[in-house]
């Protein structure tokens, strides 16, 4: 039985070997010899002269002007590719520096905001002392700013816009873009505060008062320069009163009345307390009292 098994194994091996030889014969059937098949791939063969493909370099200023022409026709997508091409083919040259900045600009104009951010960041990293670094930072900030979403949605882009604008103001304080950056920073901060108010109101409606208070506290503590502070103080009055923490409710109303005496929000807070036998009264030891020290009311924007 063992001998029979051995014979079967040998037979299978022989069949396999025959198949491999036949396959090899088919593969090389088109060549006279194995050497011929190898020689056909030899770029230095005398039988078949090698002709390399020559890619001629295009001068960087020619590529740059091509990009400008496309930009003039509002073809921002292809214009940005031309400007980026200079940076790839002629890195660390003056033309590459110009091309990278123009790539960021045309990407921004073409609403390719993520690409614009990437190009602007690279420009600043490679040219931190350049007189155009402030403009690159501005393009980065605006690329985030133009993607700000409704306050009911995630505010990741708003936070990035605020961060980029703050960097612009901090790193380039004499830049011509500072006035616009300050205005847009105020807009982004107000948007972030409004997002917290949106979530806080949701918790308040669901009677999840502690969660609501945490959101309103964030507005008062982190976003004091926004228009949302008035409502946040009134909502704190509501939430603390609902929890039975009357001293904090009275403090919130008192701080609101002191800083916004003519506000409709103060009228609501005052009515809530007085209708329940309480008056606005500030507790100097309250976190609210400490948080609002030095508060300055800002003008609407």
Instruction: Tell whether 213 is covered by a domain.
Output: yes
Instruction: Tell whether 39 is covered by a domain.
Output: no
CA nearest to 224, candidates 301, 293, 144: 293
User: What values do phi and psi take at 91, rounded to 5?
Assistant: -65, 150
CA distance 20 to 9: 17
From first to last of the 301 residues of the chain, give the pLDDT tens digit: 434 443 434 344 433 433 333 333 434 344 444 445 445 545 555 555 555 554 457 899 999 999 999 999 999 999 999 999 999 999 999 999 999 999 999 999 999 999 999 999 999 999 999 999 999 999 999 999 999 999 999 999 999 999 999 999 999 999 999 999 999 999 999 999 999 999 999 999 999 999 999 999 999 999 999 999 999 999 999 999 999 999 999 999 999 999 999 999 999 999 999 999 999 999 999 999 999 987 766 545 5
Are the C-beta atoms of 113 and 121 separated by less than 8 Å? Answer: no
Side-chain half-sphere CA neighbours of 233 within 13 A: 34
Query: Model pTM?
Result: 0.78
- Angle at Cα 157 formed by Cα 152 and Cα 160, nearest 5°? 135
- Could you give the residue ranges of the DSSP H alpha helices within 172-280? 178-205, 209-222, 229-243, 246-259, 264-274
Which pLDDT value is given to residue 25?
A: 40
Instruction: Tell whether 95 is covered by a domain.
Output: no
Range of the domain at 201: 191-291
CA nearest to 265, candidates 228, 290, 296, 294: 228
- How many structural domains are present in the chain? 1
Which residues, other chains included, contact 299 with Cβ-Cβ below 8 Å and sequence gap of 6+? none
Are the C-beta atoms of 97 and 123 separated by less than 8 Å? Answer: yes
Instruction: Tell whether 77 is covered by a domain.
Output: no
Instruction: Tell whether 155 is covered by a domain.
Output: no
Instruction: Tell whether 47 is covered by a domain.
Output: no
Instruction: Tell whether 216 is covered by a domain.
Output: yes
CA 101 to chain centre: 19
Q: What is the CATH number of the domain that holds 268?
A: 1.25.40.10
Instruction: Tell whether 109 is covered by a domain.
Output: no
Are the C-beta atoms of 266 and 235 separated by less than 8 Å? Answer: no
CA 85 to chain centre: 24
């Amino acid at each position: 039985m063992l001998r029979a098994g051995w014979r079967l194994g040998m037979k299978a091996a022989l069949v396999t070997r025959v198949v491999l030889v036949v396959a090899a014969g088919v593969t090389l059937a088109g060549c006279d010899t194995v050497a011929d098949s190898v020689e056909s791939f030899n770029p230095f063969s005398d039988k078949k002269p090698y002709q390399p493909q020559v890619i001629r370099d295009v001068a960087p200023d020619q590529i740059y002007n091509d990009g400008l022409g496309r930009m003039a026709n509002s073809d921002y997508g292809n214009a940005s590719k031309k400007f980026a091409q200079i940076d790839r083919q002629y890195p660390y040259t003056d033309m590459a520096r110009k091309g990278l900045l123009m790539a960021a600009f045309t990407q921004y104009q073409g609403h390719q905001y993520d690409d614009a951010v990437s190009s602007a960041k690279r420009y600043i990293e490679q040219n931190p002392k350049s007189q155009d670094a402030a403009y690159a930072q501005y393009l980065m900030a605006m690329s985030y700013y133009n993607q700000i979403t409704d306050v009911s949605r995630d505010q990741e882009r708003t936070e990035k816009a605020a961060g980029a604008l703050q960097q612009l103001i901090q790193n380039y304080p004499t830049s011509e873009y500072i006035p616009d950056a300050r205005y847009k920073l105020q807009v982004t901060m107000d948007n972030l505060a409004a997002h917290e108010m949106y979530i806080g109101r949701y918790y308040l409606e669901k009677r999840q008062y502690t969660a609501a208070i945490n959101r309103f506290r964030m507005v008062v503590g982190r976003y004091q320069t926004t228009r949302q502070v008035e409502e946040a103080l009134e909502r704190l009055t509501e939430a603390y009163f609902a929890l039975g923490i009357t001293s904090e409710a009275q403090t919130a109303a008192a701080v609101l009345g002191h800083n916004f005496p003519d506000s409709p929000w103060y009228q609501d807070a005052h009515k809530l307390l007085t209708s329940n036998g309480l008056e606005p009264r500030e507790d100097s030891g309250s976190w609210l009292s400490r948080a609002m020290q030095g508060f300055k009311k800002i003008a609407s924007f």
